[in-house]
Amino acid sequence: MTSTLQAPAPLSAASSGSGWHGLILQRLAHRDLREKDAFAELFADHAAARSKTAALSSQLSALRLEHAQTLKVAATAQEFGSSDSARKFADLELQMRQLKDERAELYKTQGQNAQKLLKLMESVQQSDGTVGGLQEENTKLKAQLATVSVSLKDAQELIREKDHVIQILRDELQTHQLELSQREGQLEDREKRVGDLEKENKYLVDRWIQLKQEQAARMNEANEYVENALKNKATSPAITRQHSSSERIYDTGTPSFFVPKSLTRRINAHDGEINCIQMSPDGSFVATGGNDKRVILYDAHTGGIKSTLSGPVQSIMSIAFNNSSELVMGTSNDNSAKLWNVGTGRLKHTLTGHIGKVFAAKFTDAGRVISGSHDRTIKVWDLQRGFCADTIFTLSSCNDLCLLNGDGTLIASGHLDNNVRIWDTRSKSLVKEISVHFGQVTGVTMHPTQNALLTTSRDNTLKLIDLNTYQTLATYSHDSYRPGMNWTKSTFSPDGGHIASGSGDGGLCLWRTSDARFERVMKEHRSAVCGVVWGLKNVVSAEKDRGVIWWGP
């Protein structure tokens, strides 16, 4: 008895594409189908053999009974000598031998089937062992696949970071190339300007000599007049009185502002952290901006909230008023600057064009706005036409800027790379790069009466820089002074005699400008101080944790 076993069909391209575990499952399915058919045929043969064996056994029993009866009949026939009985007996013996042979053949077939069954059982056990091994290998491969997937994800994340760094480096390279071309153009312009300046210098020297000669002539006339007056002994008391009056003109007396010493009022108006504070030029408003995307205007004298201005979709980083205090501007992390009308609270302009956070902006006297951003550019905006008029590439992210003159043709900017840069916005050229700090520059402020610039840095110092010589006039520091933000701003008193700046531990520090003497620290804030404004009648500071404090003498 034979059984036909069908070979497994070859794998198609679609099944092979499903992976090695799909291949294993498909082969196991073919094996089950193949062995199931083999066992079914074997069991069917075995059942038929058993049925046939039972039938033959039953026939054998019947034949044995018939044989016994035949023997009896034969014995009787022998006794009687019948020829039919002898012939019948011989036939029965032949049938019995045939049945015995057939039974022996069936027993042999049954043994062979049992042997086949044992072999098939051994094959099944081996297949089960192979399946177990494959399942264990599958488990190991799944664990390896999970590990490789995690490694692949980490590698992809690292590649994205590297791509970002490469893009930044490309932008820096492009910026440097542009700056190099600008510098080459500036060098040519400077050579031309040197010639012009030499001519102008010669003209000015000649003019200065002429003025000095005129002054010497006037001095000679004055000396001659004094000598004549002394000779005549005619000193006029009216002149003396006039001289005394002139002296009183320069007698400033008691200043109209005060030096803060104690807290008078605390207000918490924002729903998030405060990033900046500013006072209007007329001293009537104080404005703060923060992470709640709002600019809040307060009455500078009473501390009452006048209005709340909204519109930006991210945090407010700096605030500025125009000279008439009619417009207030807030720069935002949404890469824009927004201008509101102070009286109506309505949004008037939205300046978009930066591709990074805008950390600073100022109004000029000429109806323009100058903004500095972390996209390493400074932009000049024409408010009349509402678009960007010029762009200056600064080589580093800009944290703050201030105007060195009213029309904004000269500006100073503080940068992430620890440098202060002076720019000519008309030619978009770098006038001077000042490197006096060892940490990023967070704020730049113009002295109210002198041609000097105050810088605030994360190296825990403030420096006063002479803009004529670009030399450091004074350095202000103290053990208790540690700026807590990358946009911390400092301020002067109205006469420029004092400097105030906030520390990361909530202290408000005061120095004397002339000799850099540290006067006091006032610790009423509960978190890092982001800025302070000092008017004729108000000193107000803001802290990160939503607090705004009014100070009194």
What DSSP designation does 397 have?
-
Q: Compute the distance between CA of residue 413 and CA of residue 403 in angstroms, rounded to an integer.
A: 9
What is the model's pLDDT at position 204? Answer: 77
* Cβ contact 295:280 at 8 Å: no
The CA distance from 434 to 412, in Å, is 10
Distance CA 475, CA 511 (A): 10
* First-to-last C-alpha distance (Å) of the chain: 118
Written as one letter, the residue type at 264 is: T
Res 10: pLDDT? 46
Is 512 or 53 the better-scoring residue by pLDDT?
A: 512
CA distance readout (Å), 365 to 286, 323, 343, 408, 482: 21, 7, 20, 8, 35
pLDDT, position 250: 30
DSSP bridge partners of 339 = 329, 349
The 10s digit of each residue's pLDDT in 429-469 is: 999 999 999 999 999 999 999 999 999 999 999 999 999 99
Q: How far is CA 334 from CA 313, 322, 338, 345, 361, in A?
A: 6, 22, 11, 20, 14
Residue partners of 38: CB distance under 8 A and separation at least 6? 3, 5, 120
Residues 518 and 501: beta-carbon distance below 8 Å: no
Write down the pLDDT at residue 230.
67
Res 12: pLDDT: 44
Strand partners, 287: 278, 297
Helix (H, G, I), strand (E, B) or coil at 219: helix
Q: Tokens representing 288?
A: 């703060």
Mean pLDDT of 233-246: 37
pLDDT at 80: 55
pLDDT for 247: 31
Pairing of strands 498-502, 507-512: antiparallel
What's the burial of 105, exposed, middle or buried (CB within 10 Å: 0-12/13-18/19+)? exposed
pLDDT tens string 263-296 = 999 999 899 999 999 999 999 999 999 999 999 9
Q: What stretches of 311-357 adopt beta strand conformation (E)?
A: 316-321, 327-332, 336-341, 347-352
Q: Are strands 462-466 and 472-476 parallel, antiparallel or unpaired?
A: antiparallel
Going by the DSSP 8-state scheme, the letter that residue 547 receives in this structure is E
Question: Mean per-residue pLDDT for 368-376?
Answer: 95
Residue matched to tokens 């103290």: 478
Structural contact between residues 402 and 446, judged by C-beta atoms closer than 8 angstroms: yes
Highest mean pLDDT among 37-51, 119-133, 182-196: 119-133
165-174 LR contacts (CB < 8 Å, sep 24+): 171/376
pLDDT greater at residue 86 or residue 532: 532
CA 252 from centre of chain? 52
Q: Domain map of the chain by residue range?
A: 17-161, 271-341, 342-552
pLDDT digits (tens, 9 = 90+) for 214-235: 777 777 776 676 666 666 654 4
Please tell me the distance from the alpha carbon of residue 521 to that of residue 399, in angstroms, as a whole number.
25
Q: What ranges make up the beta strands (E) of 343-393? A: 347-352, 358-363, 368-373, 377-382, 387-393
To which H or E segment does residue 274 belong? strand 274-279
Question: Does residue 307 sit in helix, strand or coil?
Answer: strand
Q: What's the pLDDT score for residue 6?
A: 44
Q: Which residues pair with 397 in a beta bridge?
A: none
Indicate if the pLDDT at residue 82 is higher than 70: no
**Span 342-552 CATH architecture:** 7 Propeller (2.130)
- For the segment 394-435, what is each residue's pLDDT rounded down to a tens digit? 989 999 999 999 899 999 999 999 999 999 999 999 999 999
- DSSP H or E run through 275: strand 274-279
Taking the model in full, what pTM does it have? 0.57
Q: What are the pLDDT digits (tens) for 116-144?
A: 888 888 888 888 888 888 888 898 898 99
Give Cα separations from 415 to 134, 274, 380, 420 (angstroms).
63, 21, 18, 6
User: How many Å apart are CA 4 and CA 499, to the nearest integer?
Assistant: 103
pLDDT at 249 over 50: no
The pLDDT of residue 371 is above 70: yes
Q: In the predicted model, what is the mean pLDDT of residues 480-508?
A: 94
pLDDT of 474 strictly over 90: yes
pLDDT of residue 13: 40
Q: CB under 8 Å to 123, separation ≥6 — which residues?
A: 35
Angle made by CA atoms 164, 334, 346, in degrees to the nearest 5: 170
| Residues comprising the chain, all counted | 553
* Band of residue 242 on the pLDDT scale cut at 50, 70, 90: very low
Phi, psi of 454, rounded to the nearest 5 degrees? -100, 130
Chain-wide mean pLDDT for the chain? 84
- Pick from 333, 405, 407: nearest CA to 375: 333
Q: 24 pLDDT exceeds 50? A: yes
Distance CA 305, CA 309 (A): 11
pLDDT at 473: 95
